[in-house]
Structure 1
Amino acid sequence: MTGVPFPFPARLPADRIAIGDIALAACVAGAGRPIVLIHGLGWDRNLWLPQVERLSARYKVIAGDTRGHGDSDKPAGPYSIDLFASDWAALLDRLDVRGACVVGFSQGGMAAQILAARRPDLISALVLVSTSGRFPDAGRENMEKRLAAQAAEGPEASARVAAESIFSEAWRAGHPAELERFVAWRAGQDQQALAHAMRATYGFDATPFHAGIGVPTLVLAGSADGLTPAAGMRDIAAAIPGAAYAEVPGAGHMIPIERPDAFDRALDGFLDTHYPAAG
């Protein structure tokens, strides 16, 4: 399969769970060993709809909306990756989750790295998808380009900049209708909260923590990802002891949307080996 129609808007049910002075929306489905799915910048729990539906037959699956996203609260900024990680830790504490397999995509993968370093009790396996160990200057330049377009031309222009950086050229060419659906959906989001989330990436650096991550880890990259290039993903895998690295040929940043079959195969293979449902 070379891609699926843009899946938004989708509607995974969710409860609003209070953590401190805000509430996060979270879908909890199934029973068994916990799998936690953390979406990326500008997305929400619905990114994981196929995985929630499929994995909840064997696992307890938790897919939530990070602060500023989806149906979670959107307080005034600034936001940071450390703040996102603290929010997720508080959410998992409220849900009494320990020893989970945490799957972090893009910005969610940044938060997952901090979680693994600071709350090892929460994590017994880790999957990092299309993410960064240290947010590169090129990534900051892309965020600034989005913000400049948002200020000068409006949300739709900013969404188009985002689309060019997260979807591969081949996917965009082959899915024009889905691309327009993405632009309309992203342009309809809370733009102030989205801007806070963009700036949360600035200065992020988890590389000092990588050597101390002691759980089985899969690092999954797209060979055509221009936002978080495969070379940086290989660096993460090399720095985390025993981490496995896999690359999806031709995939851009949005591996779960562009190459869903390849994504599921990689995830299932890792789970079967390192985090089987039977425990």
Structure 2
Amino acid sequence: MTATLIVLLIIVALIGVSLALGRTSREAQAVRDDEFVELDGSWIRYRVTGQGPPVLLVHGLLSSSRIWEPLAKRLSGQFTVYSLDLRGFGESDKPLTGYGVRHGSRVLYAFCSHFRLNNAAIVGHDVGGDMVVKLAADHPEFARSVTLVAVPANEDQMDLPTSLWLATLPVIGPLFYVIGQYADFVRKLWLKPFVSDKRDLPEELMEDAAASVPAALRSTFNTVRREISRERVARQARHLQAPVLVLAGEEDQIVDPQAAEVWAGSAPRSEVAILEGCGHLPMSELPEEFSSRLLTFLAGNESGHSRRSSRAPREEASSGMPREVRDPRESGQDSRGIDGLEPDEEASAAETAEPPPRVSRGPVGRGGRLRRAGAARREEDDTGEMGYVPEKNESQEEEQARKQEESREEGPEGRQEAKPAVEPGEDPDSTRRVERQDGGGRPGGEDIIPELPDDLFRWSDVRKGRRRGRGEENGGGRESGERGD
């Protein structure tokens, strides 16, 4: 009995500790103006290097901007490379809430607005790629091109190792995460499936995995799975104006490589590359091949960047886009929500956000459906709110007016004059009878209604006499009555 009670007390104590750990948050330390910027109420760590057209790098789950350092050095010779630590990871603030695709895209919007990154080449890894898709779909002026690296398209394509999945559970999950924070061998169990060869596991990722908080991992994983369910974000990729490069590792155990086919079938202008012998981190496992493919893709879109950059000032002036934003709530910005999520927040977002313009993604076929060459399946036409108003047939109106003008010019010689509708002595009720003109029926001149007899509506003399007699009697009575009065 005593042993059972001790076990129960231990279990209760562990649950209490786990709940307390799940409510922990952490603020950024040693904030400096040249390294941190306050966006959407959180301090965000960022890095800038190089000079040239802008490139924005967005990391994924459990990592930080340090995962991009080798690629940033390679790109800095031709581009200005921006990278940031998303909320909850790296050196940025780690609050209890504010995670997922929608909140992440708001941070990216504020970041791009603050640094004026119009027509930037945006690269997103893992769940950061979903945030990039939503940003580019809602605000196409920011994206010159989009690169998706091992990005899940629905919840079934996203998985975690069992040891890491335990840290995402409610109640007991925070306890498993804290154990991994202090035990290196546990973190290695977490991250070993991220690469096809454990020797390619970057030390920076080991450190970043321990730098987060339980709420950030659990909320990000669970919220993103809910937001991308039934390919909600992938459907928004149909609105992308920018070209899309989809990269996936053939041996990826975290995100199913088949997700690349979903993105290719949704994005209007896309190309896919499957990297052989690569896992979930191609930027670390195959740095040379990855950077070469990315550079080739970015160089191919430089001509499009030069053409679009000349239109950027006019687009910004017409849309009223703020030039510099530290907190997107001050500018009234809020991205459009994902279908079916938090209707109260979606309503407030719809009042402040400017919806992206409808985009024609290819030739329009019959029925108003948009078709894309090489698509694996037909896309559904999701522009149902766009009403169609038929135009007036001006040729028919002109033809009718011309015929009326000719009939008036012909006069009595060209057509038969209509007979008076009422003849002397007829009852007024017969005034509704109108005789048809010759040729007014069928095209051949044959009248549909036969000729009616002239005396059809005439009253007989006897009937008329009776009506006159009644009228005289009534009139005489009235006169005599008036005299009597």
For Structure 1 versus Structure 2, the TM-score category normalised by the shorter chain is 0.7 to 0.9
In terms of mean alpha carbon deviation, does 263-272 or 158-167 score higher? 158-167
Compared with structure 1, are the counterparts of its residues 151 and 216 closer, same or farther at alpha carbon in structure 2 (3 Å cutoff)?
A: same
Structure 1 SS opposite 2:219? helix
TM-score for both structures, normalised by structure 2: 0.50
Q: Is the 8 A contact 1:40 1:105 kept in 2?
A: yes
Alignment pair present for 1:199 and 2:222: yes
In terms of mean alpha carbon deviation, does 180-189 or 92-101 score higher? 180-189
One-letter identity of the residue aligned with 2:244 = T
Structure 1 SS opposite 2:132? helix
Alignment pair present for 1:261 and 2:283: no
Which digits, 9 at most, give the CA deviation of each residue in 1:19-51, with x for residues without a partner?
A: 232121111122221100001111111111112
Match of 1:151 in 2: 175
CA apart distance, 1:124: 1.3
Match of 1:164 in 2: 192
Compared with structure 1, are the counterparts of its residues 179 and 26 closer, same or farther at alpha carbon in structure 2 (3 Å cutoff)?
A: closer
One-letter identity of the residue aligned with 1:185 = E
Structure 2 SS opposite 1:203? helix
CA apart distance, 1:214: 1.6
One-letter identity of the residue aligned with 1:213 = L
Compared with structure 1, are the counterparts of its residues 278 and 124 closer, same or farther at alpha carbon in structure 2 (3 Å cutoff)?
A: closer
Q: Is the 8 A contact 1:150 1:158 kept in 2?
A: no
Alignment pair present for 1:65 and 2:89: no
> Which fold has the larger relative contact order, with Cα–Cα distance below 8 Å and residues 6 or more apart in sequence?
1
CA apart distance, 1:94: 0.7
Counterpart-to-counterpart distance in 1, 2:141 and 2:110:
13
CA apart distance, 1:118: 1.0
What are the equivalent positions in structure 2 for 1:64-143 lying under 5 Å apart? 64-136=84-156, 139=159
Match of 1:49 in 2: 69
Compared with structure 1, are the counterparts of its residues 90 and 158 closer, same or farther at alpha carbon in structure 2 (3 Å cutoff)?
A: farther
**Structure number with larger C-alpha Rg:** 2
Bigger proportion of residues as strand: 1
One-letter identity of the residue aligned with 1:167 = V
Q: Is the 8 A contact 1:166 1:227 kept in 2?
A: yes
Q: Is the 8 A contact 2:119 2:144 kept in 1?
A: yes
Which digits, 9 at most, give the CA deviation of each residue in 1:57-108, with x for residues without a partner?
A: 2111101110011111111125111101110110110111111100001111
Counterpart-to-counterpart distance in 1, 2:202 and 2:236:
39
Match of 2:476 in 1: none
Compared with structure 1, are the counterparts of its residues 232 and 179 closer, same or farther at alpha carbon in structure 2 (3 Å cutoff)?
A: closer
Counterpart-to-counterpart distance in 1, 2:225 and 2:38:
27
Compared with structure 1, are the counterparts of its residues 150 and 120 closer, same or farther at alpha carbon in structure 2 (3 Å cutoff)?
A: same
Alignment pair present for 1:25 and 2:53: no
The percentage of aligned residue pairs carrying the same residue is 23
Aligned length: 261
Q: Is the 8 A contact 1:159 1:186 kept in 2?
A: no
Counterpart-to-counterpart distance in 1, 2:205 and 2:50:
32
One-letter identity of the residue aligned with 1:272 = A
Q: 1:250 aligns with which of 270, 277, 280?
A: 277
Compared with structure 1, are the counterparts of its residues 58 and 181 closer, same or farther at alpha carbon in structure 2 (3 Å cutoff)?
A: closer
Gaps of 5+ in 1: 1-12
CA apart distance, 1:277: 11
Q: Is the 8 A contact 1:59 1:277 kept in 2?
A: no
Structure 2 SS opposite 1:224? coil
Cα RMSD for the two superposed structures:
2.6
Match of 1:210 in 2: 237
Compared with structure 1, are the counterparts of its residues 254 and 137 closer, same or farther at alpha carbon in structure 2 (3 Å cutoff)?
A: closer
Match of 2:207 in 1: 185
CA apart distance, 1:269: 1.2
Compared with structure 1, are the counterparts of its residues 52 and 140 closer, same or farther at alpha carbon in structure 2 (3 Å cutoff)?
A: closer
Structure 1 SS opposite 2:226? coil
Compared with structure 1, are the counterparts of its residues 184 and 163 closer, same or farther at alpha carbon in structure 2 (3 Å cutoff)?
A: closer
Q: Is the 8 A contact 2:74 2:291 kept in 1?
A: no
Counterpart-to-counterpart distance in 2, 1:191 and 1:273:
40
